[in-house]
Chain A
């Protein structure tokens, strides 16, 4: 296994969000719910716990920057808050035992926190006028549900991948 596979995995995760957005059958909910995919963040958090925290922070910086530039066009949001989320997660997993169930709750907490930070930021720069309660019901719950589903499907493969990377060159 070559060392290049780790960045390759992260790049694939980075693009997976927008590819999911392209082919997500939006008409099912008729726009009533707005679930946002955060597959890259989930991958990054797996990396921070099962591979190496500092590498994950660096990846968070780099890909957060790309995220801001290429997708959201609000520079700085992902760039700073992805590493912050990684940092918080590494602190949380130190106190709590990292079983799949507890890590599931930590990840959902992280995504909720991240969503709220980005919501606040968007409210601040007037990119959105949605008030807090519609935000929670229209966006936060569906987002958590979507990412919870993703976690359930991909937790084991992701953990195995990062553990393999760690054994090889950690």
Chain B
């Protein structure tokens, strides 16, 4: 009898190892979206998460507000100085926007890579495992969210939608370590320099921007935004600031360390950007932009 017991245990052990390997293989496979049973479980779990997270959020926000009341005076002073400049800025922006629309009309090119529709969402959960930076938001397919859409806060890009279910979606933050998580980006200066945001330096807590041409003149403090060329993200979302520039191992390209503009912690409200323009770039006038990028590389 004991012999039989150990045999049974061995079979259970081996069986579970096989299933474990199969499941892990299944989940790390490169796939567009999750399967419907997964979606169903996510919706049900997300519903419960919503019920628990929302009231806790409200309480936390209340205490935050109370804390903020203390330095209202100083903040007010600071904001007032900003306000003086704002009026001028605002009129400039409207004028430029109008110009832009008119010029686009002249060129018969009304869509822009920079156009997007924002969808507001609230963060309801964060992966407590902390190996992989994933957050769950309370908007899903029913609000038109699709995988690969850009997710940002008021201060900048934070990640992209990894998968969606009916009422929730999972967002992969830029800080998670994933070789497939690449964002086409550009460094703003007189001549834009293109590159790829690829990977995150855990110790320095900065994003790595690779494939910058070796002759590109990049200075510390220049802004990095999305380029819109990846075919997924809209153009012009702020990613961060260049902090350091290092040549790569072969000396053909450079890598910049970029300090992210948005914090990846304490996320509460985020925006998902639905890009209005088509996802792929088959049009001829758009192809020009791809060529520019290739020249840059």
Contacts of B178 in A (CB 8 A): 127
Q: How does the 8 Å CB contact mask read for A64-84 relative to B, with 1 for contact and 0 for none?
A: 001111111111110110000
Interface centre among A11, A75, A127 (most CB of B within 10 A): A75
Partner of B19, one of A15, A34, A76, A130: A76
Whether the Cβ atoms of A73 and B27 lie closer than 8 Å is yes
Residues from chain A with a CB closer than 8 A to the CB of B27 are: 68, 73-76
Query: Would you call B16 and A118 a contact (CB within 8 A)?
Result: no
Q: Which residues of A contact B177 (CB under 8 A)?
A: 126-129
Interface centre among A12, A22, A127 (most CB of B within 10 A): A22
Which residues of chain A are near B127, meaning CB under 8 Å?
A: 18, 21, 71-72
Tell whether B186 is near chain A: CB-to-CB under 8 Å: no
A18-B123 Cα distance, complex, nearest whole Å: 11
**Dominant SS among interface residues on chain B:** mixed
Which stretch from A25-33, A43-51, A96-104, A157-165 is at the chain B interface? A25-33
Question: Which of B16, B128, B163 gathers the greatest number of chain A CB atoms within 10 Å?
Answer: B128
CA distance A20 to B179 in the complex (A): 29
* B-side contacts of A18, CB under 8 Å: 49, 53, 125-128
- Determine the chain A residues whose CB is within 8 A of the CB of B46 once the complex forms: 70
Report whether B170 and A73 are in contact in the complex, using a CB–CB cutoff of 8 Å: yes
CB within 8 Å for A130 and B202 given contacts A23-B60, A74-B28 = yes
B144 at the interface (CB under 8 A from A): no
Set B23, B56, B170: member contacting A76, Cβ < 8 A:
B23
Asked if A17 CB lies within 8 Å of chain B CBs, one says yes
B-to-A contact residues, CB < 8 Å: 16, 19-21, 23-24, 26-28, 38, 41-42, 45-46, 48-49, 52-53, 56-57, 60, 123-132, 134, 136, 162-163, 170, 176-179, 202-203, 205, 263, 265-266, 268
Which A residues are in CB contact (< 8 Å) with B263?
27
Q: Is the CB of A22 within 8 A of B205?
A: no
* Interchain CB contact under 8 A, A79 and B129: no
CA distance A130 to B124 in the complex (A): 28
Q: Which of A22, A25, A75, A80 contacts B16 (CB 8 A)?
A: A80
A122 CA to B24 CA in the complex, in Å? 10
Minimum CB distance partner of A121 in chain B: B24
- Which residue, of B41, B132, B205, has the highest number of chain A Cβ atoms within 10 A? B132
Instruction: Report A-chain residues with C-beta under 8 Å of the C-beta of B176.
Output: 127
A137–B79 CA distance with the chains assembled, in angstroms: 42
